Amino acid sequence: KVVLDGNHPLAGMALVFTCTVTAIRPASAEEIEHGHVHGGDDDEEGCH
pLDDT confidence tier of residue 42, bands split at 50, 70 and 90: low
- Domain borders along the chain are 22-48
pLDDT tier, 38 (very low <50, low <70, confident <90, very high otherwise): confident
pTM over 0.85: no
- Write out the DSSP string of the chain: ------S-TTTTS------------PPPHHHHHHTS----TT-SSS--
pLDDT tens-digit series, residues 11-29: 999 999 999 999 999 999 9
Averaged pLDDT score across all residues of the chain: 86
Whether the pLDDT of residue 40 is over 80: the answer is no
Q: Are 32 and 42 in contact (CB under 8 A)?
A: no
